[in-house]
């Protein structure tokens, strides 16, 4: 379980860096933009999905 938590935290951190925002400033649109960036950069679909799960959880809570 701890491994997944670290992946989720890394996803939020990376998205914040990409969007140049703090975690409290992230929006759904920021996450959509970040997802597109990940897909266009050639990241494997499973890795993109893992990042999105972490970001969705973060935004929901």
Report pLDDT digits (tens) over 39-54.
999 999 999 998 999 8
Which residues contact residue 10 at a Cβ distance below 8 angstroms, ignoring those fewer than 6 apart? 54
Query: Domain of 29?
Result: 2-60
Q: What is the pLDDT of residue 55?
A: 93
Model confidence, pTM: 0.87
**31 backbone dihedrals φ, ψ, rounded to 5°:** -65, -40
Half-sphere CA count of 50, side-chain side, radius 13 A: 15
Structural domains of the chain, count: 1
Rounded to whole angstroms, how far apart are CA atoms 52 and 45?
10
Q: What is the mean pLDDT of each run of 10 residues along the chain (61 residues)?
A: 81 96 94 96 92 91 82
């Amino acid at each position: 379980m701890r491994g997944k938590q670290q992946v989720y935290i890394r996803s939020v951190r990376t998205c914040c860096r990409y969007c140049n925002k703090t975690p409290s400033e992230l929006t759904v649109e920021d996450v959509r933009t970040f997802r597109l960036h990940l897909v266009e950069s050639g990241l494997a679909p499973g890795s993109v999905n893992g990042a999105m799960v972490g970001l969705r959880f973060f935004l929901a809570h």
